[in-house]
A and B are shown apart, each in its own frame.
Chain A
């Protein structure tokens, strides 16, 4: 039972969230060559340790977030809103 501190809603059970994927991927532009897309979509690390992931608070605020999670211990090191403007706005208000 991982518990994720949603930046919008507060700490909630992971069952309210859906896992997205590797949050470190920078997707190429739509007109980028096939090789770039191939690398972004298929060449993924299988990290044992801390990795950045995307999660969506699907049964909550529907917002996507970046979660820094240790895949060995489930320890969560940081959470922030995925949308950069939202992330900034939340920092200002807190």
Chain B
């Protein structure tokens, strides 16, 4: 297991380096040079030259690459001029909120997906068809649309849940429990919007996997000896479902992080996705690149965790990479 872990970590490192290199290459594709004095712009050629020297833009590309990647890896993501503070500070603050949102969403997604999938696998043909249809529809619904509909119904029409933000504006003066409740109320809608479409996909996958497991000889012989349907699913199907989930776990993270850009923006949730979006509108290159680098780090860490998870539940995975 330890050798496996070491191997996976060693394989993940070049992936991170590769993502940073990709971002750097994109940056190089931008036409024009930094601080180019255009006719009429208020920067004199002398000042532009000095700015280029201070910012290191006059260095050869290899030196700039090393400086940029080294900075990113060392935690120096540059300075965000729209936020007026170091990118690392802004991203750090936002990343914890994004982790709260996506972490809750991922737990909810797998809980609902696993439950729905196992239920459909255990159910008779009619209920199975209904549950499969529900899961298929959930899977096809855009998360941002779901978010807008949820807000329209639960916040605007019924007034039950807050429309946006991470906590109420006067929550600072409240006690611990009201504050936690307030935070939870703000989390419900964005979390559901983010989790439900993916949960539908997981349910479909889990159902098919469990059904396939139940059609195998071992399960069939157990059934012929009189094992009940529910116990069949739990004893012979649940293991397979767990394997499926450990594979899907790593695949779900990029989708959730991408989805959180839209959901955070819609719900004014002050996380990384919204930060990157605001950076995009302000054309704040260091901020957006910093967010993208951290997003890549999170995806790679997530898929590493998924690999470890699937190695922990499936001996075949451990063996295959020995």
Verify that A and B bind, or say they do not: no
